[in-house]
Structure 1
Amino acid sequence: DGSLLPGFILSRAKARNLVVSFKNENEVRLFLMDLIFKGTDSQNATSTKLNWPVFDFCNQFLQTQQELYDATRDLVTYLCTNHNVRVIEIRFCPELHTLEGLTHDDIVQSVVKGFQAGQQRIIICALRSYPESHSLQMVELCKKYLGKGGIIGFDIAGYESDYPLSIHKKALELANDLDIPITVHIGEFPQTLNNFPFLLQNWKTCKVQRMSHCIELGKDHQVLTECSKAIGKH
């Protein structure tokens, strides 16, 4: 939902008979940028289950199997053709695409089919703002498709400030037990540094292979060193 091409959004808005303010791809880009700027204010991140406005808007175009397939195929084709991209890993949370009745299996299979031609990589995400049962379910779904059609791992994603990583400790432990490679998006904002000590304290059962964002990690040399050592040992 954060990587849709403007042309795809334009065509799906027309197909869904939505009343929108944009008429061409450039206007779509400007519209999305405005939503992104609104999303930088945490007070605006209060829509359904705390998705930022730009993700909520884009997600409405990813509710059918055909939409999921087309969006994935178009993105992979565009990146490989226009930007010489050799390897792509796109993460998504299947739960967000169930609004019109699709099952998790329908969703994963549609995205996998869109990726198969390009032989790229897919990460299944759990959202921080969703309950523990959701993240456990996403881990099980990831295990079911791991190594099939490009599914390579599990990720904890979403609004970090109000939802610490510790909420999903059981999901991280389960992913470790099932030998699923784990990525966590962590340390994007100043108030989120406390997520790193949690990981380090629970490393034996919650070890991760990769951390993304990590902007704030560079401001604490000690924590940075400890995280580097921990990942380096595994």
Structure 2
Amino acid sequence: MSQRPTPDEIRRAPKVLLHDHLDGGLRAETIVDLARETGYDRLPTTDPDNLRQWFEEASDSGSLVRYLETFDHTVGVMQTRESLVRVAAECAEDLAADGVVYAEVRYAPEQHTTTGLSLDQVVEAVLEGFGQVPGIKVGTLLTAMRHQARSMEIAELAVRYRDVGVVGFDIAGAEAGYPPTRHLDAFEYLQRENAHFTIHAGEAFGLPSIWQAIQWCGADRLGHGVRIIDDISASEDGTAKLGRLAALRP
């Protein structure tokens, strides 16, 4: 019988990460530092240990809405060029320390412009930060928020920077009431440009979201898609029976 790998062996093994959010993995100490430097005063606590615990509890609450609220604070301290460079560099450092050799990290440029940065400046700052860390290759996916109306603008941004580190486009945010077909013009544009895109679908809204993302929008990859389980049933002999969605092939 083969021996189970230890946590240290797993950490050192080379890995690929295809779904990570830049604004979802900040170090607690960094959030406190950046809040002080940028004047952000809405943190629930400025003690790094307590802040780390607050984030962990919100993330494990089982509520997608409460989980998404944590991003108000991380995005809130990522509004300057310097903060974006630092967060991106630390992201790459932390991933490399876990043995990741290739990662695709996504973020929404439109959420980092409240202090005057342009979309291009946001993208260039993040790419600069990722480029500072040796031993790991990081590609970025530019995300459009599905409740906003800037998906075409972000899709064009992704195409503009695809030769210098941007590897794709994505939409994310609350699914209910904001179907992926709302951004069909952006997906059609990306297809014409032979550009890649993913769609967050099937985490909170279920099978209709997955169906639209694949059949209507032509997504290369789904973000999460966990509700596909609702399309799988067990036969009398115990084998899995796939529905029309689970049986789809790329």
Structure 1 residue 19 displacement after superposition: 6.4
Q: Which residue of 2 aligns with 1:57?
A: 73
Give the Cα–Cα distance (whole angstroms) in 1 for the partners of residues 169 and 34 of structure 2.
29
Contact 2:211 2:245 in 1 (8 A): no
Q: Measure, in 2, the Cα distance between the counterparts of 1:3 and 1:109.
A: 20
Which structure 1 segments of 5+ residues have no match? 46-51
Q: Structure 1-normalised TM-score?
A: 0.83
**CA gap 1:71/1:39 in 2 versus in 1, 3 angstroms:** farther
Mapped pair 1:168 → 2:180 = no
Tell me: CA distance 1:172–1:22, structure 2 relative to 1, closer, same or farther (3 Å): same
TM-score by length of 2: 0.78
- Which residue is equivalent to 2:3? none
Partners of 1:151 and 1:22 lie apart in 2 by: 34
CA RMSD of aligned residues (A): 2.1
- Report deviation, 1:78: 1.8
- Shift of the 173–27 alpha-carbon distance from structure 1 to 2, 3 Å rule, reads same
Give the Cα–Cα distance (whole angstroms) in 1 for the partners of residues 101 and 214 of structure 2.
Answer: 33
Matched residue SS, 1:62: coil
Return the offset for 1:223: 3.3
Q: Which residue of 1 aligns with 2:221?
A: 210
Summarize deviations over 1:124-182 as a string: whole Å, max 9, x none.
01111112xx000000000100021x210011111112211111111111111111111
What is the CA–CA distance in structure 1 between the aligned matches of 2:46 and 2:170, rounded to whole Å?
35
The match for 1:93 is 108
Moved more, 215-224 or 19-28: 19-28
- Corresponding residue for 2:142? 124
Larger-gyration structure (1/2): 2
C-alpha spacing 1:21/1:95, structure 2 compared with 1 (3 Å)? closer
Deviations 1:42-61 (A, max 9, x none): 5x69xxxxxx3211111111
Q: For the Cα contact (< 8 Å) 1:68–1:111, is it kept in 2?
A: yes
In structure 2, relative to structure 1, the CA distance for the partners of 1:21 and 1:41 (3 Å cut) is closer
Offset, 1:12? 1.2
For residue 40 of structure 1, the aligned residue among 63, 75, 87 is 63
What are structure 2's unaligned runs of at least 5 residues?
A: 1-22, 232-241
Where in structure 2 are the equivalents of 1:216-231 lying within 5 Å?
A: 216-220=227-231, 221-227=242-248, 229=249, 231=250
Residue 117 of structure 1 deviates from its aligned partner by: 3.0
1:69-84 equivalences in 2 (<5 Å): 69-81=85-97, 83-84=98-99
1:178 and 1:85 mapped to 2: Cα distance?
30
Question: Which is helix-richer, 1 or 2?
Answer: 1
**Matched length:** 214
Give the 3-state SS of the residue equivalent to 1:225 in structure 2: coil
Task: State the identity %.
Answer: 27
Structure 2 residue aligned with 1:14: 36
Letter of the aligned partner of 2:246 in structure 1?
T
Q: Distance in 2 between matches of 1:108 and 1:170?
A: 22
Letter of the 2:224 partner, please give it: H
